[in-house]
């Protein structure tokens, strides 16, 4: 029986399970604080036995594959290929970080190895926030999104501060385990004290901040519409755009009144592909204008699919394509947010953090030929256009500025802070989480909006076609929610806030600093490696 039992395999597999648990609602999120420990213990055991590089990386791969597969399997509901690629690519990049840890530890020592692991891991998270292959879903700090009382200091550090906290605690617990196994009582005591303080002090600070935080009263009345239109069978094929608008108007009329400031509708609520130079005469926009004219205080914010026309003499974006049957003209497509109000200025924002493989192919100038491989989820697919800045939808009197966060954009902290820097005192998240079915995916996505509320200290109104629509206060609490596949509205009051947090002003400074320190650590390890090899060469000669 012993030859079938591999304790190191069990350790790394258990590590993957511990790291996956926080991504399930109702399961213990605290496992993230010791999730790496079994993997690191297995690494130490294998290292002691002289295991080769590839064997060590295989065990790391198993741990990370388990974590990824258990946490993001639900992507297959939208695309099997996307699920396979997301799991495999993320697993390989995590394993690459572990390879960096192994290299630094081998040539620069254990302490440098620990420092290298922490900085390399956060640098990797930073890469997945900034690169065109953006996938920040399993960033460690995201695992605490459903526990706002624990992470109030994210307004200073952002989500990556949570990642740093989690990694430090993992290594302190690892040190404690080694000290206990080695019967080093004094050393175990120091590690126990360090681990307890590292857990308790940030918790105490956060709970104190939570209890003391009071929103400045600047009330805004919102009506959030959740139409729950099936994205596979109704949204882009079964129901006409007019029928879908009828559903949303019916819901809004039941909830909106003369005191309502905003009606918020989900991503691609209008899907009849509006030419932007014809917005003012579009039938869907005119229907919304008729509604807001009946309630002059209302600003209607909605998702839409829009098209922009270019002539060949203009500076064309890389995602523009030729307009069929009209020589010399090009067009670009956008996943947009539009505000309709009595002033009828129709401010518009184009989604600019796009889903890789569905809404964009990375590096469109270089890889334009791959666009035909984009996964079609209905509505819009292929590389979409973006805009360079975070546009704010201002009310006609300029009292309120809405940051219109479209779906995937809500996963990116520094990106969202751009709206606030540009004046947004409210955040609206519009999304369609129905692609993933009734899985953990839409619940995980909601938790990211809670993190954004804390980082920016902005109230969030979240409208999902389906998923979970919500009002989130500036502490990250869910004030009101509308659940999976429920058709209805949420009405409530949120407060506008114009103050900027430290995180909004400074951005992901922890990620930037970690990337810099990771490069220095790798350089030091490389120097040690070269010196060691030169020493061997000198001895031979």
Tell whether 143 is covered by a domain: yes
Overall residue count recorded for the chain in this entry? 541
Indicate if 534 and 499 belong to the same structural domain. Answer: no
Give the pLDDT confidence of 113-162 residue by residue, as tens digits. Answer: 999 999 999 999 999 998 888 899 999 999 999 999 999 999 999 999 99
Select from 485, 459, 531 the least CA-distant residue to 218. Answer: 459
Domain identity same for 67 and 80: yes
For 321-354, what is each residue's pLDDT tens digit?
A: 999 888 889 999 999 999 999 999 999 999 999 9
- 428 assigned to some structural domain: yes
Per-residue pLDDT of the chain (541 residues; tens, 9 = 90+): 456 679 999 999 999 999 999 999 989 999 999 999 999 999 999 999 999 999 999 999 999 999 999 999 999 998 898 899 999 999 999 999 999 999 999 999 999 999 999 999 999 999 999 888 889 999 999 999 999 999 999 999 999 999 999 999 999 999 999 999 999 999 999 999 999 999 999 999 999 999 999 999 999 999 999 999 999 888 888 899 999 999 999 999 999 999 999 999 999 999 889 999 999 999 999 999 999 999 999 999 999 999 999 998 889 998 999 998 888 899 999 999 999 999 999 999 999 999 987 888 776 555 555 555 444 444 445 689 999 999 999 999 999 999 999 999 999 999 999 999 999 999 999 999 998 999 999 999 999 999 999 999 999 999 999 999 999 999 999 999 999 999 999 999 999 999 999 999 999 999 999 999 999 999 999 999 998 887 666 666 5
What is the pLDDT at residue 506? 98
Residue 380 lies in a domain: no
Q: Please report the pLDDT score of residue 375 as a whole number.
A: 47
Burial class (CB in 10 A: 0-12, 13-18, 19+), 484: middle
Sort residue 229 into left (φ over 0), alpha (ψ -120 to 50) or beta: beta
Q: Specify the number of domains making up the chain.
A: 2
Question: Are residues 237 and 154 both part of a single domain?
Answer: no
The angle subtended at Cα 14 by Cα 13 and Cα 18, nearest 5°, is 120
Could you tell me if 434 and 534 lie in one domain?
A: no
Query: What is the per-residue pLDDT for 272?
Result: 87
In a domain, 330, yes or no: no
**Domain contains 319:** no
Same domain, 197 and 50: yes
Shared domain check, 501 and 512: no
What is the structure's pLDDT at 237?
83
Do 48 and 122 lie in a common domain? yes
- Residue 367 has a pLDDT of 56
**Domain match, 520 and 499 both:** no
Same domain, 478 and 528: no
Domain assignment of residue 110, yes or no? yes
Does residue 311 lie in a domain region? no
- Are the CB atoms for 247 and 270 separated by under 8 Å? no
The answer to whether residues 226 and 482 touch, using CB atoms and an 8 Å cutoff, is yes
In this structure, the answer to whether residues 414 and 527 fall within a common structural domain is no
Q: Which domain holds residue 516?
A: 2-213+508-540
Q: Tell how strand 329-340 and strand 348-350 pair up.
A: antiparallel
**471 near 222, Cβ under 8 Å?**
yes
Q: Are 197 and 175 in contact (CB under 8 A)?
A: no
pLDDT confidence of residue 284: 97
Same-domain status, 486 and 398: yes
Report the CATH number at residue 426.
Answer: 3.60.110.10
Q: What is the largest CA-CA distance in the chain?
A: 91
Residue pair 128/136 in contact (Cβ under 8 Å)? The answer is: yes
Secondary structure percentages of the chain, helix, strand, coil, to 5: 55, 15, 30
Query: How remote is the C-alpha of 533 from its chain's centroid?
Result: 43
CA distance 351 to 333: 10
Q: Is residue 173 located within the same domain as residue 282?
A: no
- Residue 315: both structure tokens together: 């500076």
The full DSSP string for 39-57 is HHHHHHHHHHTT--HHHHH
Is position 33 within any domain? yes
The pLDDT of residue 356 is 86
Residue of 479, 477, 475 whose CA lies nearest to 457: 475
Three-class SS string for 53-85? HHHHHHHHHHHHHHHHHHHHHHHHHCCHHHHHH
d(CA 342, CA 124): 46
d(CA 416, CA 437): 26
pTM of the model: 0.94
């Amino acid at each position: 029986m012993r030859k079938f039992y591999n304790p190191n395999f069990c350790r790394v597999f258990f590590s993957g399970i511990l790291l996956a648990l926080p991504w399930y609602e109702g399961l213990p999120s605290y496992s993230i604080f010791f999730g790496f420990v079994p993997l690191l213990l297995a690494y130490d055991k294998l290292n002691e036995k002289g295991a080769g590089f590839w064997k060590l990386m295989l065990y790391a791969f198993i741990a990370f594959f388990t974590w990824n597969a258990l946490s993001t399997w639900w992507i297959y509901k939208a695309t099997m290929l996307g699920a396979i690629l997301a799991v495999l690519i993320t697993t390989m990049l995590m394993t690459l970080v572990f390879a960096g840890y192994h290299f630094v530890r081998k040539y620069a020592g254990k302490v440098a190895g620990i420092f290298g692991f922490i900085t390399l891991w956060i640098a990797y998270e930073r890469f997945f926030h900034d690169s065109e292959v953006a996938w920040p879903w399993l960033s460690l700090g995201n695992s605490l999104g459903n526990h706002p009382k624990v992470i109030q200091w994210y307004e200073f550090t952002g989500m990556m501060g949570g990642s740093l906290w989690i990694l430090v605690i993992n290594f302190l617990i690892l040190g404690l385990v080694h000290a206990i196994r080695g019967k080093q009582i004094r050393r175990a005591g120091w590690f126990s004290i360090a681990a307890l303080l590292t857990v308790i002090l940030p918790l105490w600070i956060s709970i104190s901040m939570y209890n003391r935080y009071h929103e400045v009263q600047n009330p805004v009345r919102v009506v959030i519409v959740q139409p729950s239109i099936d994205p596979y069978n109704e949204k882009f094929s079964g129901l006409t755009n007019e029928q879908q608008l009828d559903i949303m108007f019916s819901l809004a009329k039941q909830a909106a009144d003369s005191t309502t400031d905003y009606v918020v509708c989900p991503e691609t609520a209008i899907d009849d592909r509006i030419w932007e130079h014809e917005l003012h005469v579009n039938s869907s926009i005119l229907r919304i204008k008729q509604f807001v004219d009946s309630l002059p205080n209302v600003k209607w914010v909605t998702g839409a699919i829009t098209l922009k026309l270019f002539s060949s003499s203009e500076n064309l974006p890389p995602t523009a394509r030729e307009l069929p049957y009209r020589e010399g003209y090009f067009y670009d497509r956008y996943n947009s947010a539009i505000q309709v109000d009595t002033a009828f200025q129709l401010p518009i924002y184009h989604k600019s953090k796009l889903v890789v493989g569905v809404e964009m192919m990375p590096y469109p100038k270089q890889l334009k030929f791959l666009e035909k491989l984009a996964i079609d989820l209905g509505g819009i697919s292929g590389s979409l256009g973006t805009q360079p800045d975070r546009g704010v939808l201002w009310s006609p009197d300029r009292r309120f500025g809405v940051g219109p966060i479209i779906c995937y954009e809500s996963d990116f902290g520094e990106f969202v802070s751009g709206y606030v820097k540009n004046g947004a005192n409210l955040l609206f998240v519009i999304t369609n989480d129905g692609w993933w079915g009734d899985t953990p995916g839409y619940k995980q996505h909601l938790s990211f909006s809670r993190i954004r509320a804390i980082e920016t200290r902005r109230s969030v109104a979240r409208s999902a076609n389906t998923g979970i629509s919500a009002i989130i206060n500036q502490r990250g609490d869910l004030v009101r929610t509308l659940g999976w596949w429920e058709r209805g509205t949420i009405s409530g009051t949120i407060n506008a806030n114009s103050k900027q947090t430290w995180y909004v002003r400074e951005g992901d400074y922890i990620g930037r600093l970690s990337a810099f320190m990771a490069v220095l650590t790798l350089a030091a390890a490389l120097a040690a490696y070269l010196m060691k090899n030169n020493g061997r060469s000198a001895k031979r000669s």
